[in-house]
Amino acid sequence: MGKKEKRSLKPKDPDAIIEYLFVEKELDLNVPVKYNVGSFYNEINLYFTGKPKHMDLSTFINVFHEEFEKRTKELTYFRGKKIDLSEYKFGIVDDKKKITVFDALDESFFKAVIATPRFVIIGKDFDLNRFKTHEIFDDFYRYVHRLFDEEKILENYVEPDAAVEYLFVEKADWQKKVINDNQGYIMAAIYLNFDGEFANANLPAFKALLQEELNFSLQDSDYFTEKAFNFADYKFYLIDNDKKATDFAVMDDVFFDALMASLRNLVIVGKNFDLEAFKEHSIFREWFDKWSNKI
């Protein structure tokens, strides 16, 4: 997604990473795949020593449910859906695509998933043979085993025509300091294609892409207090090579024409944020010195 800085100490690396695929029981395996519609991947980090410690079934179940609920809230398709996991079966996936089925998250399942940390969650009536040949399962299997076709990826890769580096600072109702201690921020880039199949150099596409990226980051990261990005809460600056800022109260056609004419750096901050004072802060200097569009 981009360059980010968290405000809490990084925990030690997990002792195990459990990767799983959820497919809702209503999904029709005969229709074309739409990713993040009806299925998703997720990971569970487990720690066997110290705190937190996850070496028992009840703790694992709690961690799983917490991560599962968090993921369903992140994805627009699953928000508000009532998912009863008692209507699903759990399949441990080995290196040869064999799926060993468990009807519940019990001790037998827990021992198996610790030994083979990959599983799928599918409806109790799913046809396993059909499922194992499906694109969703195949992609998951390739992902967890890191079986990527680099040549195919390169064949389909489209070099963007431009990149707009941006710095986003989460809004605050009261700006006590140049940047408050609890304000999260992101350093990242949006890539633009001027023509072709992936053309997105227009205002609606640019705003949609920016909102999608920021919403993902706000929901995915625990160092943000906001969980949704609203354009009305922010103001926008284009920064030139001398750090001179041109401000825009809204992201409209005037803004976008200026952006496309200059492809300058973009700063997104709350309505009451003092950008001039922030220019002297280490966060702004790092972004401007290391990541800004200077050519």
Kind plus residue range of the DSSP H or E element containing 101: strand 99-102
Residue span of the structural domain in which 248 resides: 162-291
Numbers of helices and strands, H then E, in the chain: 9, 11
* CA atoms of 243 and 278, how far apart (whole Å): 11
Comparing CA positions, the residue from 218, 206, 129 lying closest to residue 168 is 218
Q: What's the pLDDT at 212?
A: 87
Q: What's the pLDDT at 118?
A: 92
Q: Which residues pair with 3 in a beta bridge?
A: 187
CA within 13 Å, CB half, 27:
30
**Quick check: is 181 in a domain?**
yes
Q: What's the pLDDT at 260?
A: 92
**Quick check: is 1 in a domain?**
no
Say yes or no: 193 and 134 in one domain. no
pLDDT tens digit sequence for 103-122: 999 999 999 999 999 999 99
**Quick check: is 244 in a domain?**
yes
Q: Where is the domain boundary, 153, 178, 209?
A: 153
**Cβ-proximal residues to 149 (8 Å cutoff; 6+ apart), any chain:** none
Say yes or no: 237 and 273 in one domain. yes
Q: Where is the domain boundary, 153, 176, 208?
A: 153
Say yes or no: 194 and 268 in one domain. yes
CB 239 within 8 A of CB 141: no
* CA atoms of 132 and 97, how far apart (whole Å): 7
Q: What's the pLDDT at 210?
A: 93
CB 207 within 8 A of CB 231: yes
* CA atoms of 237 and 273, how far apart (whole Å): 12
Say yes or no: 188 and 139 in one domain. no
* CA atoms of 184 and 168, how far apart (whole Å): 8
Say yes or no: 132 and 210 in one domain. no
**Quick check: is 135 in a domain?**
yes
H, E, C per residue of 55-72 = CCHHHHHHHHHHHHHHHH
Structure tokens at 202: 């227009």
Does the structure show a pLDDT above 60 at 203? yes
Say yes or no: 124 and 183 in one domain. no
Say yes or no: 180 and 272 in one domain. yes
Comparing CA positions, the residue from 221, 217, 225, 232 lying closest to residue 270 is 232
Please state the separation of Cα 60 from the chain's center in Å. 23
Counting the structural domains of the chain, the total is 2
Does the structure show a pLDDT above 60 at 7? no
Say yes or no: 166 and 280 in one domain. yes
Q: What's the pLDDT at 170?
A: 95
20 vs 73 pLDDT, higher one: 20
Q: Where is the domain boundary, 123, 153, 183?
A: 153
Q: Say which DSSP state 211 is in.
A: H
Q: How much is the pTM?
A: 0.53
CB 131 within 8 A of CB 98: no
pLDDT tens digit sequence for 258-285: 999 988 899 999 999 999 999 999 999 9
pLDDT tens digit sequence for 42-89: 998 888 877 766 678 898 999 999 999 988 887 878 888 889 999 999
For residue 117, the domain's CATH number is 3.10.20
Q: What's the pLDDT at 148?
A: 44
Residues in the chain: 295
Say yes or no: 138 and 28 in one domain. yes
